[in-house]
Amino acid sequence: MCGIVGAIAERNVVNILLEGLKRLEYRGYDSAGVALVDADQKLHRVRRIGKVQELQNALAESPLKGSIGIAHTRWATHGGVTDKNAHPHFSSEQIAVVHNGIIENYQSLREILRSDGYDFQSETDTETIAHTIHKEMKQAESLLDAVCKSVKQFHGAYGTVVMDKNDPETLVVARSGSPLVIGLGIGENFIASDQLALLPVTRRFIFLEEGDVAEITRTSVRILDKNGEEVERQIHDSEIEHDAGDKAGYRHYMLKEIYEQPIVVRNALQGRLNSEGLLPGIYGDDADMILQKVRHVQIVACGTSYHAGMTARYWLEQYANVSCNVEIASEFRYRKSFVHDNSLLITISQSGETADTLAALRLAKELGYMSSLTVCNVPGSSLVRESDLSFMTKAGAEIGVASTKAFTTQLTALLMLTLKLGQCNGMSKEQANAIVNALNTLPAKLEATLNLDKEIGQLAEEFADKHHALFLGRGDQYPIAMEGALKLKEISYIHAEAYASGELKHGPLALIDDEMPVIVVAPNNELLEKLKSNVEEVRARGGIMYVFADKDANFESDATMRVINIPHVDEIVAPIVYTLPLQLLSYYVAVIKGTDVDQPRNLAKSVTVE
């Protein structure tokens, strides 16, 4: 999603801003821009649709210099993808603004501002921020004062950075619903929507909280909280171990991240599980007291994380004997729901900043859930800070927009949690041992599954000219089929749907013909015979199938069915293992189709707008 970078220093900040934007590129965007105040107190701006490279080329042709500046990568929500709609936005050639989020009341603000004489140069909601602040400046004591007065007029979500060419010593930033982090340097300070953008210049960060407005100079940071009270916020040393870095020889980040899965799943297990079971204290002090009481779980998530939650429901109910509901965050937050006794709210999010999931957590607190736990990949993120308990997935920075290793580490974390809650709830020793053994052998199974790479690469050729695909699974493999379909849609733009295979006869069978490939995930579990009947239903209607199956499941390749044998694996962790071939399939189909694998069209990572 949109990225923000700002800097105030003694040196020229142009390259810091561009490097910061590049580090946020992976989140997906459609245009980029930068604004600076130069030594003569003149405000300059360059904006380009397309990649940051276009912006960089433009700046190479007409270089800019300034020791204070703001920059942005935009993922359009209001107004088309044009140079004019790209940020920064100006008011009266004095105030410059970048913004992540949505100003929901922008239309009424526009009307008021128009009647005050302001001309709008863009179709964006963001431009109302610039003009409102400019208007407030007329009676304000300072830029900070004007921003504080302005934010009271905005409904919706914003992370915004404001610069005034008449005060080139100060940046003012405001956060409500969209994250911002201040980076502390020596004699220079920075602001960004994600600490990753600032890692080349600092590792010391202050995470702004909801409602904070801050004034940043080269040597000082002053923060006012949502009540306008001056507050001290803790300084964090970044825990990000390694820089997202390069592709390590892989053609795409996505392929690198697919291949990292055995390692990151091992990392997720390390220090938490040994051959005997879970180690004590891994959910934090006092967590056991809370987890002992849990009798119901409500999972809330979006996209791929929602599929992880759906898989966990099968595990929690089957193995931990704990009832569980799973819901898409954007639905959960806008409907009346009931809170069961002793209910734990679990949020799942790679970034920890997913706007709908965060809003759902806040709502759950009001509704009176017993406690909240987040399964998240980014330490210090909003979900981690606002949840009672957090469990980090340790996947490392995920750059590909289409999530891979974040998903399998989420599943690993959720299976560990199943074990924990099960043990709090009378799980038998045999069952616990079975989960422990399955988890401990998981990294090796994932490694073995990656050996299918070549075979799946060849298989992908058969999908390149298809427009639709159907994914089938049963039980805990149904969400894996959903995730497989999502991956194919996201990066190859082939329309793909997933069905619980028992549902075929209730509608989707009508779609079957030899132009509709059917992908089946078929581990050797108790639902195998049922699944085989569903496969026959497809065969009888002339469907072409690709079956990912355990060898012992006894599927045979023939004219209408191609079988890809997956290494034998304990059925407990089969959903995690069967995810990998589906990721590889989507990846290779996308490569053959020549799409932008790491930054697919229209999509963004870390979805910080509602």
Interface residue list for ligand HGA (CB under 6 A): 1-2, 74-79, 99-102, 124-126, 609
Minimum distance between the CB of residue 599 and ligand HGA, rounded to whole angstroms? 14
310 with 440: CB under 8 angstroms?
Answer: no
Alpha-carbon span 358 to 605, nearest angstrom: 15
Closer residue to ligand HGA in complex, CB, 401/573: 401
Alpha-carbon span 17 to 12, nearest angstrom: 10
Q: Which residue is nearest to ligand HGA (CB)?
A: 2
Closer residue to ligand HGA in complex, CB, 179/523: 179
Look at strands 204-207 and 3-8 and give their pairing: unpaired
Whole-number CA gyration radius for the chain: 25
Please pick, among 22, 51, 135, 605, the residue that the annotation labels catalytic: 605
309 with 346: CB under 8 angstroms?
Answer: yes
Closer residue to ligand HGA in complex, CB, 202/351: 351
211 with 225: CB under 8 angstroms?
Answer: yes
Alpha-carbon span 170 to 95, nearest angstrom: 12
Minimum distance between the CB of residue 17 and ligand HGA, rounded to whole angstroms? 18
Q: How far is CA 279 from CA 110, 271, 274, in A?
A: 57, 7, 7
Closer residue to ligand HGA in complex, CB, 21/446: 21
Minimum distance between the CB of residue 105 and ligand HGA, rounded to whole angstroms? 13
Minimum distance between the CB of residue 558 and ligand HGA, rounded to whole angstroms? 48
Q: Is 605 a catalytic residue?
A: yes
Minimum distance between the CB of residue 77 and ligand HGA, rounded to whole angstroms? 4
269 with 259: CB under 8 angstroms?
Answer: no
Closer residue to ligand HGA in complex, CB, 179/508: 179
For residue 338, what are the contacts with CB-CB under 8 A and spacing of at least 6? none
Closer residue to ligand HGA in complex, CB, 428/602: 602
Minimum distance between the CB of residue 598 and ligand HGA, rounded to whole angstroms? 18
82 with 49: CB under 8 angstroms?
Answer: yes
Q: How far is CA 283 from CA 289, 316, 391, in A?
A: 11, 17, 6
Please pick, among 2, 148, 302, 324, the residue that the annotation labels catalytic: 2
Give one DSSP letter per residue of 394-444, joined into a string.
------SSS-SHHHHHHHHHHHHHHHHHHHHTT--HHHHHHHHHHHHHHHH
Q: Is 376 a catalytic residue?
A: no
Closer residue to ligand HGA in complex, CB, 82/431: 82
Minimum distance between the CB of residue 123 and ligand HGA, rounded to whole angstroms? 8
Closer residue to ligand HGA in complex, CB, 123/455: 123
Cis omega (within 30 of 0) on the bond before 88?
yes
Alpha-carbon span 360 to 374, nearest angstrom: 12
307 with 482: CB under 8 angstroms?
Answer: yes
Minimum distance between the CB of residue 108 and ligand HGA, rounded to whole angstroms? 16
Which 8-state DSSP code applies to residue 580? H
Alpha-carbon span 219 to 135, nearest angstrom: 28
Instruction: Show which residues are catalytic.
Output: 2, 605
